[in-house]
Amino acid sequence: MTTPPDLILVLDAGTTSARAIAFTAAGAIAASAGRPITQHYPQPGWVEHDAGEIWRASRDCLIEVADSIGAPRIAAIGITNQRETIVFWDRSTGEPLAPAIVWQDRRTADACAALRAAGHEAAVQAQTGLLLDPYFSGTKIRWALDNWPPVTAALAAGDLLVGTVESWLIWKLSGGTVHVTDATNASRTLLMDLATCEWDAGLCALFGVPREILPVIVDCAGPIATTALLGQPIAITGSAGDQQAAAIGQACLAPGQLKATYGTGCFLLAHAGPVPPVSTHRLLSTVAWRLAGTPAYALEGSIFTAGSAVQWLRDGLGLIGTAAETEALAQSVPDSGGVVFVPALAGMGAPHWQPNARGSLTGLSAGITRAHIARATLEAMGQQTADLVDALAADGVAAAGLRVDGGMVANDWLCQDLADSLGVPVERPRVIETTALGAAMLAGVGAGLFADLAEAAAMAAPDRCFLPAIDAAARQARRTRWARAVRQTLAE
């Protein structure tokens, strides 16, 4: 007897790994598989991926999970991805033409500065919700056209296709028949008009990006494409950038609900409703999702270095053997000993937007141990998040609580420190893989398994709530010390 399709398969193509996760309709994980993604650093400030490796790792994860659960059980596929990373490939061969330029990459800082100096930032922000920063995809595309001959040659031949990671993966999964991007990813390129959710000719001209190389913008749920990779046709019915997917997976479906994801970076999203929000405190306006042609919006604060700071302690300095050690080390000392770590290892994101900033470690003395440095690294997560929450409050969105997810929040000490730093309850979900869960919710809606996201939200469930345990005076003392360290870092 054949088992009817009852699982949603999600491909989560992140910055450091590709993972496939099969969810039940109740939100439980039935099977998963993962593969690492290699980071390439050809020059200081440059970060690249091999798009071929992204595809192979993604393909292998999907096949492994499908073999484990049985492909006939898969009702639909959802995709979520690192967002601003941009891929260049050949329409005819289906092969990458150059390295993928990763969202953390800073090579276009000078180009962004020139556009700001020319007075373009206010108009760009009004139309896209974004600031002129190398974080976003538009200047990366222009740089590749100017510097990589294979990309330029493919453009001249009419064979160049460009897209964010989900666009690349949908192209490969569909056998080279579908070139699309969902509205959340398109909103991170500097090329999409936020109000219309369409590519804008004026923006494409400003950044020097030919419209014809870009994918078609589609909804986040619905019949996006079909893949035969797993031995039978399976519909891809959900797609969203990782941070929007995480907000959906945290059931942040009403205006004012906030989530923060702690992975390689940290990204805070506050749901803003059906009208594009306007930030006057250097936050971003972005698409939260688009369903049936109708967008919803969010305010976002982006921190470029979160889990990658812990990775640096491990791989760069050799202070720890595993990331999990930081919890015990932080607990082993009563405080950071006066050490403050500003982890600007890839510049500083919101609300500072200083792409050339470099990290600083202050307050060192002969009595400082690796435990103090590990604690200061974790404390930086709370302080960076508090900067974003302060900016949100100044924009009129007061945080009554924060929902958190991502690999870092398995650390109980970190979650408690976040509550102490922000002075609000911090809620951790039962399944911390909320990025993948949000993609599963979208795919479920797109496949008709759920009527809407509100019904799909039954897949999400809370696990534990962390309440603030320090008083306002202690919290403010930490904020003052942090602000001083940030000023010193930015002044250098």
Dist. CA 121–CA 137, nearest whole Å: 15
User: In a 3-state reduction of DSSP, which class is residue 35?
Assistant: strand
Please answer whether residues 163 and 215 qualify as being in contact, where contact means their C-beta atoms are separated by less than 8 angstroms. Answer: yes
Dist. CA 249–CA 260, nearest whole Å: 12
Residue 142 domain flag: yes
Residue 362 domain flag: no
Residue 468 domain flag: no
Tens place of pLDDT for every residue, the chain, 492 residues? 467 889 999 999 999 899 999 999 999 999 999 999 999 999 999 999 999 999 999 999 999 999 999 999 999 999 999 999 999 999 999 999 999 999 999 999 999 999 999 999 999 999 999 999 999 999 999 999 999 999 999 999 999 999 999 999 999 999 999 999 999 999 999 999 999 999 999 999 999 999 999 999 999 999 999 999 999 999 999 999 999 999 999 999 988 889 998 988 898 999 988 999 888 888 999 999 999 999 999 999 989 899 999 999 999 999 999 999 999 999 999 999 999 999 999 888 888 888 889 999 999 999 999 999 999 999 999 999 999 999 998 888 888 899 998 889 999 999 999 999 999 999 998 887 889 999 999 999 999 999 999 999 988 888 899 999 999 999 999 999 999 999 999 886
Please answer whether residues 289 and 220 qualify as being in contact, where contact means their C-beta atoms are separated by less than 8 angstroms. Answer: yes
Per-residue pLDDT at 433: 81
Beta strands 74-81; 7-13: pairing state: parallel
Q: State the total domains in the chain.
A: 1
Query: Phi first, then psi: what are they for 329, rounded to 5°?
Result: -65, -45
Residue 62 domain flag: yes
* Strands annotated E in 51-112: 74-81, 86-90, 100-101
Residue 90 domain flag: yes
Per-residue pLDDT at 2: 64
Residue 12 domain flag: yes
What is the DSSP annotation of 320-368? -SSTTHHHHHHHTSSS-TT-EEE--BTBB-TTT-BTT---EEE---TT-
Dist. CA 312–CA 320, nearest whole Å: 9
Which amino acid is residue 300, in one-letter code? E
Which residue intervals of 187-294 are DSSP H helices?
201-207, 242-249
Residue 137: domain span: 7-242
Residue 133 domain flag: yes
Per-residue pLDDT at 170: 98
Residue 16 domain flag: yes
Q: How far is CA 257 from CA 240, 250, 252, 300, 397, in A?
A: 18, 9, 5, 12, 9
Per-residue pLDDT at 177: 97
Q: Which CATH number characterizes residue 230's domain? A: 3.30.420.40
Per-residue pLDDT at 265: 87
